[in-house]
Amino acid sequence: MFEIELKFQIPEEKLDALIKAFQRKNDQTLHLQAKYYDTPSFTLSEHSISLRQRLENDHWVQTLKLPTEQKLKRAEFEQDLGTDEIELDLQNYLENKAINKNIQSLLTQNKNFLEVQFQTDIERKLSNFKFQNSQIEVSYDQGQIIAQHQTLALHELEFELKQGTVQDLISFILPRVKRYGLWLDVRSKAQQGFQLAQNIQHNPVQSQTALTLTSKDSPETALKKMFNNCLNHLLPNSTAIASGHFNSKHVHQARVAIRRLRSAIKTFSGWSLHIDPTWQTQLTELFRQLGSARDLDVIREELLPQLEAVGAPKFKLPESETTDTQKLTKLFRSFNFNYLVLSLIQFIEQDSNEKTKTSVHKLALKKIGKLHHKIQLDAQNYLNLDIEARHKTRKNLKRLRYSLEFVSSLCDKKAVKKYLKSIKPAQESLGLYNDFIVAEEILTKLVKTEPQVWFALGWIAAEKQRVLQQSQQDLLDFAQISTLQ
């Protein structure tokens, strides 16, 4: 019912070598022609649901795929239709107790409006491997998606765990990722098809979603849920960047997802004995490499309009967006990034055996209380701190917010809402102050070649002092708030 598969894109120069490497005596070749159904307003797609009828050589199969809490897992319900093409039939899904009633209600409401929105025509080469104690199916898909008068070429490699452990699956995949330069792609054919059908050029930007923990979760289980939530946030954006079809919003959300993941590790890593200490180092370096591109985006999108409004002379920024785009695409296609993600997936999927009598709620509030106290101490002396110490205060404030958001489902909703509201003014003013520091550093380097930058630097210096005073006051206001109980 649940399928666990990881899909990768293949560098063109590695394609021939990879196909030869996966050839086996018992290989299968399938000709897959599928029709994907949705309403004219794409109601199913909006709920991450796909419904298709597919001709597999000479056999028809109807499949409903539903989302789960994990991006890399899908609930799949197949129905054998035989050799004859028949009308779409939803009755089995409406009577299936394993399908959520809300999904069934959605299907019932829209069943009379479903029509073919796009089709796929794929040649699939299947190879089966026994690795350790697991059975792994490797499929190479080559073909196209057809929507109205548009087509999109497909070349994809999928690894599906048919039997065994995710740990074996990851161990099998990693050497191939390194050897052939494969990069993880979380877009399904359905998602790509629906985008093509709607003529959407860029991949959707993924923001963070709420995380639900339960009082029965062990600390390690809770930590794994946090990691999974962060990957659900990160991977759609990293896929967009790796594909080369992205904008500054994808970069921003990727940064936020990485920062949240770093916060989870820094605050709650003691909840598991299986945390790899190199993850934090790798995430810090990844964030740093993303930082320069984001810093320039902040200047372009937020600072320049303000300078223009006050009549500042125009000037050119140091790097072109094209260069940034190429660097970022390469970054998210790199082995280091894909190795990190696969390692995190392996941690999330491994069995949890650690037990504790202390509730996750109490453990979490203790961690949050310590962070709260640190920020209270900084607030009293903020103006006397050096720039690096102020930067650390800002990071602690962000970490406090993210840490609370991770465990907010275990706390009183009104208390959490009030507490997060009290954090917001200080976080915004400290963030703006940091933006001015970064902009000042970047623009100072341009003075020799762009003397008109002096006006901007003068304006930034004045604004920076104003925001610094505001930051002190916002921190003092926050320091008066009691920590959550």
pLDDT in tens, 223-278: 999 999 999 999 999 999 999 999 889 999 999 999 999 999 999 999 999 999 99
CATH architecture of 249-480: Alpha solenoid (1.40)
The residues with which 60 forms a beta bridge, in sequence order, are 55, 82
Judged against a pLDDT cut of 70, whether residue 203 lies above it is answered with: yes
pLDDT of amino acid 462: 94
pLDDT of amino acid 183: 97
Average confidence score pLDDT of the chain: 91
* Interval 342-395: pLDDT, tens: 999 999 998 877 677 788 999 999 999 999 999 999 999 999 999 999 999 999
Residue boundaries of the structural domains of the chain: 4-200, 249-480
pTM of the predicted protein model = 0.89
CATH number of 4-200: 2.40.320.10
Position 319 confidence tier, pLDDT thresholds 50, 70, 90: low
Backbone dihedral angles phi then psi of residue 113, each to the nearest 5 degrees: -110, 0
